[in-house]
Amino acid sequence: MNFFRGVMGGQAAGPQPSGAETIQKLCDRVASSTLLEDRRDAVRALKSLSKKYRMEVGTQAMDHLINILQTDRSDSEIIGYALDTLYNIICSDEEEEQDENTQKQVDDLGAQFTDHFIQDPEHLTLLLTLLEEFDFHVRWPGVKLLTALLKNQGPQVQGVILVSPMGVSRLMDLLADSREVIRNDGLLLLQQLTKSNAAIQKIVAFENAFERLLDIITEEGSSDGGIVVEDCLLLLLNLLKNNSSNQNFFKEGSYIQRMKPWFEVGDDNSGWSAQKVTNLHLMLQLVRVMVSPVNSPGATASCQKSMYQCGLLQQLCTILMATGVPADILTETINTVSEVIRGSQVNQDYFASVNAPSNPPRPAIVVLLMSMVNERQPFVLRCAVLYCFQCFLYKNQKGQGEIVATLLPSTIDANSISAGQLLCGGLFSADSLSNWCAAVALAHALQDNLTQKEQLLRVQLATSLGKPPVSLLQQCTNILSQGSKVQTRVGLLMLLCTWISNCPIAVTHFLHNQENVPFLTAQISENLGEDERLVQGLCALLLGICIYYNDNSLENYTKEKLKQLIEKRIGKENFVEKLGFITKHELYSRAAQKPQPIFPSPEEMLFDHEFTKLVKELEGMITKAVHKSSEEEKKEEEVKKTLEQHDNIVTQYKELIREQDAQIQELKEQLSSMTSQNEQMQATMTQQLSQIQQHKDQYNILKLKLGKENQNQGEGSQVNGMQTEELTQLREDVEELRKQNALLQTQLDDKDALINKLVTGRSDSAQNPVNAHELEALRCQLQSQSAELNQVKMERQELLRRAEAGSSNPENDGSMDALGVLSTQAEAKSSTESRAELEQQLASSTSTVAILQTEKAKLQTAVQESKKEQDDLLILLSDQDQKIFSLKQRLKDLGESDQMDDDEEEEDDDEEED
């Protein structure tokens, strides 16, 4: 313990050991001690010496400390001391003020120790495993150590973590730690981990990093938050910048909508803290990353649409027009709005409708242009406004037309300031930067828009009182000839080149001024200084455009004459060399990289990004046009005419093909519509057929139930619910009844004749009262029986009539026909009507059967009664015959036999006459 007391600062007798010797003894104790307490004390002592004796501790103790991490993992205290010691060795103390050479040595030393530590990938795997420990004294120094390793040797450490199973996931768990210091240092660790490694960036993003980071930003107060918000924003920038996959994931996850609350700025914008300015600056950069011009057009357009739909663009425009916003935030907001609206017609239209909160309200574009042409405004702000104006006009022919329209005589409003007036004012002001910015802005209003180039030729300017107005084109050339500053002339030459390129009418107007061509040739042919070489190159470009797009409408300045003029005054080789000065200029390549105008100083603001594209396109064509001879020119013209003819033919065929395509498309649509209708009809027909089949089955079942099977048309059919056999039997019964009726009628006639014969002898009977009385009674009895027989006869005839009518009634046949028709119609009618009709038929048939059966029973009853009455009548007749016979016998006995014989003969004669 005396040894440790001496190391830790206690007084000991004798000479004090040097730092290296002390460290060596401590390393021996760490390596050889068997007691955990001794090793822990030795590691604690090494930790206290590691900052002062960084070199010695690193060279002698690193391997022992790594061994401690491997063998003593059960003791969190010694593990914490070992991790702190390794961190002190690898990471230099940033708080110490050191000169440049010392700092470089320290950094080299940290890199060397880092290389030694990561030589074995298992050491990093061990460190990642230790990060899973929840103990604060293990986890926190482990996070700091891994962060230091990434700072010193990022790519190598990233490679090991990338191949380590669950390596990134373990680090992402740090964001969920409830201890803020570990969570915050975890943010710093992930910042180092995700630098310049797209694979790790994707893994971190898919580990739900966006959700966690946005939650932390919201919890910390968004733009009003502290350094933690800044760290989260920096990590988000690492994940999204130049990573299209993560950008798409961010957009698809609807995280753009969660950015809108960041930019809700109140009315009181005074007293912004430095941290708030930093946070808002990073938030604006994050928006720009999603809509950067270097992204794919489709992804950028999709993000622009989302930003407009969720109201983010509207919120940014509110900041743009707010008062009291710091200059750097305002500048970055302008740049952000620029890229949100660039190339998006909907966003550009919205921006054109934004008004500043002034009295009277002015369009935001006018307010911004006022700042651009104001030389008292900061340089970066003026550049941002120019970029915003360029983005507003990018691929926006509608906006270009609105800007040019403010310059035309018919639309100028003297009572208000317009964008065109501000541009003209800046174009001809005394400030060269305003000249350049206004010229470039006006050139963007003409970019790829032939109509506006021709419209701008109508603009007339009143230069001074008493002098006639001059055209805008002429005024630009007048300023060029006055020998203004280089920046002004470069801006005007870029405007003229953009204006007359691909516009033969503008070329004719330019050449119509007799002073322009001599001025250009003079500028090109002179041997001027280095600063003027760029102006010479631009003059050569302008003259080359006059040759290439010349329609030979001016006799003095045809293509051939201009080429001869170049050959005599300048020389073709010299002309091409001067033309090449443009692309060789160092500021040209800088401007060609990005659309945003970024210049370190106003003097270096010479080239525009869109103009560099025009130069690249025209340089080769102008060089060929100058070197071509007249014969080659003629041949090219002929070829050009032939190609135009071919193009016309091709155009006609294309139009024909378009028409045919349109017709084919229309026919396809019709076919598709008819196919769908056919399918619907087929489905409907199938459904109806199914219903018809069901009704057929129901009908057959009903036929079976009613006994009405149709075996052969007319055979086995039903007639009002009665079988044919029953009808035949009934007819036979009726016929038998007829015969019996005829027989009875004959018998009755005989009896009537006999009675009448007997009545004629009433006078004789009067002689004998007894006999007369008996005869009268017999006569009345016979009359009553005759009446009863007549009634029976009438009832029989009525029954026969009804039976015959039932057998020959056409309605019955019609009902049979109706049943047949019904079976046919049921197949075509809907299911409801068919079923109702069948049920009605069934009810009718049932009622008819019941009625006929009742009538049949009555008829049978009447027949039985008639038979019975006939029997009774026969009995009566036999009784009467017997009585008549007895009466005759009595008459014979009385002596009346002769008279009886005469009467009987008379009756026989009468019957024969009848």
Q: For the purposes of burial, counting CB atoms within 10 Å of the CB of 72, is it exposed (0-12), middle (13-18) or buried (19 or more)?
A: middle
Is 780 a residue whose pLDDT tops 90? Answer: no
Q: Lowest mean pLDDT: which of 404-418, 440-454, 780-794?
A: 780-794
The pLDDT value given to residue 51: 86
The pLDDT value given to residue 405: 92
In the chain, the amino acid numbered 901 is: D
Is 243 a residue whose pLDDT tops 50? Answer: yes
The pLDDT value given to residue 651: 83
Section 184-198 average pLDDT: 93
Q: Lowest mean pLDDT: which of 279-293, 300-314, 700-714, 794-808?
A: 794-808
**Buried-state track 673-691, b at ≥16 Cβ within 10 A, e below 16:** eeeeeeeeeeeeeeeeeeb
Residue 640 CB neighbour total at 10 angstroms: 12
pLDDT tens digits, 51-78: 888 888 888 888 999 999 988 888 899 9
Last residue of a domain, one of 595, 619, 641: 641
Helices (H), 16-75: 19-32, 36-49, 54-71
Section 162-191 average pLDDT: 91
SS (H, E, C) 117-131: HHCCHHHHHHHHHHC
The pLDDT value given to residue 491: 94
Mean residue pLDDT of the chain comes to 81
Instruction: Give ∠ CA 825-828-829 in degrees, rounded to 5.
Output: 80
In the chain, the amino acid numbered 320 is: L
CATH number at residue 239: 1.25.10.10
- N-term to C-term CA, the chain: 176
Beta-strand relationship, 355-356 and 460-461: unpaired
Is 722 a residue whose pLDDT tops 50? Answer: no
Q: Is residue 540 part of a domain?
A: yes
Section 754-761 average pLDDT: 60
Is 551 a residue whose pLDDT tops 60? Answer: yes
Q: Is residue 47 part of a domain?
A: no
Closest CA to 145 of 188, 65, 88: 88
Q: Is residue 859 part of a domain?
A: no
Report phi then psi at 279, rounded to 5: -60, -45
Q: Is residue 155 part of a domain?
A: no
Closest CA to 79 of 62, 91, 66, 90: 66
Section 845-870 average pLDDT: 71
**Rg, C-alpha atoms of the chain:** 61
Q: Element (H or E) spanning 460, and its range?
A: strand 460-461
Measured between alpha carbons, how far is 787 from 651 in angstroms, rounded to an integer? 115
The pLDDT value given to residue 826: 40
Q: Are 354 and 317 in contact (CB under 8 A)?
A: yes
Q: Is 241 helix (H, G, I), strand (E, B) or coil?
A: coil
pLDDT tens digits, 28-58: 898 888 898 999 999 999 999 888 888 888 8
Q: Is residue 446 part of a domain?
A: yes
Closest CA to 64 of 87, 41, 39, 38: 39
Q: Is residue 11 part of a domain?
A: no
Q: For the purposes of burial, counting CB atoms within 10 Å of the CB of 546, is it exposed (0-12), middle (13-18) or buried (19 or more)?
A: buried
452 and 326 within one domain: no
The pLDDT value given to residue 248: 94
Closest CA to 282 of 233, 327, 248, 325: 233
Q: Which domain holds residue 260?
A: 208-353
Q: For the purposes of burial, counting CB atoms within 10 Å of the CB of 418, is it exposed (0-12), middle (13-18) or buried (19 or more)?
A: buried
- Which of the four pLDDT bands, split at 50, 70 and 90, describes residue 790? low
The pLDDT value given to residue 736: 76
Q: Element (H or E) spanning 362, and its range?
A: strand 362-363
Last residue of a domain, one of 324, 353, 382: 353
Q: Are 415 and 625 in contact (CB under 8 A)?
A: no
The pLDDT value given to residue 465: 66
Q: Is 97 helix (H, G, I), strand (E, B) or coil?
A: coil
Section 422-427 average pLDDT: 92
347 and 456 within one domain: no
The rounded percent of the chain whose pLDDT value lies above 70 is 77
Q: Which two tokens stand for residue 627?
A: 């070197």
458 and 325 within one domain: no
Section 272-279 average pLDDT: 91
Q: Lowest mean pLDDT: which of 3-17, 186-200, 331-345, 620-634?
A: 3-17
Measured between alpha carbons, how far is 9 from 30 in angstroms, rounded to an integer? 19
Q: Lowest mean pLDDT: which of 407-411, 769-773, 884-888?
A: 769-773
Report phi then psi at 607, rounded to 5: -115, 150
The pLDDT value given to residue 819: 35
Place of tokens 């109201």: 311
Q: Which two tokens stand for residue 785?
A: 């029986």
Is 712 a residue whose pLDDT tops 50? Answer: no
Measured between alpha carbons, how far is 427 from 436 in angstroms, rounded to an integer? 7
Torsion of CA 820, 822, 825, 828, to 10 degrees: -120
Top mean pLDDT of 55-69, 388-402, 579-593, 715-729 is at: 388-402
Last residue of a domain, one of 596, 614, 641: 641
Which residues, other chains included, contact 710 with Cβ-Cβ below 8 Å and sequence gap of 6+? 703, 716, 717, 820
Q: Lowest mean pLDDT: which of 170-179, 228-237, 476-485, 855-864?
A: 855-864
SS (H, E, C) 270-330: CCCCHHHHHHHHHHHHHHHHHCCCCCCHHHHHHHHHHHHHCCHHHHHHHHHHCCCCCHHHH
Strand partners, 363: 355
The pLDDT value given to residue 33: 85
Cis upstream peptide for 360 (omega within 30°): yes
Section 81-86 average pLDDT: 93
Number of structural domains in the chain: 2
The pLDDT value given to residue 807: 44
The rounded percent of the chain whose pLDDT value lies above 90 is 41
The pLDDT value given to residue 510: 94
- Which of the four pLDDT bands, split at 50, 70 and 90, describes residue 901? low
Q: Is residue 316 part of a domain?
A: yes
459 and 325 within one domain: no
The pLDDT value given to residue 484: 79
Top mean pLDDT of 193-207, 454-468, 867-881 is at: 193-207
Q: Is residue 567 part of a domain?
A: yes
Q: Element (H or E) spanning 363, and its range?
A: strand 362-363
pLDDT tens digits, 311-347: 999 999 999 988 888 889 999 999 999 999 999 999 9
Q: Are 243 and 198 in contact (CB under 8 A)?
A: yes
Distance of CA 529 to the CA centre of its chain: 60
Q: Which two tokens stand for residue 439?
A: 């010229």
448 and 321 within one domain: no
- Which of the four pLDDT bands, split at 50, 70 and 90, describes residue 16? low
600 and 492 within one domain: yes
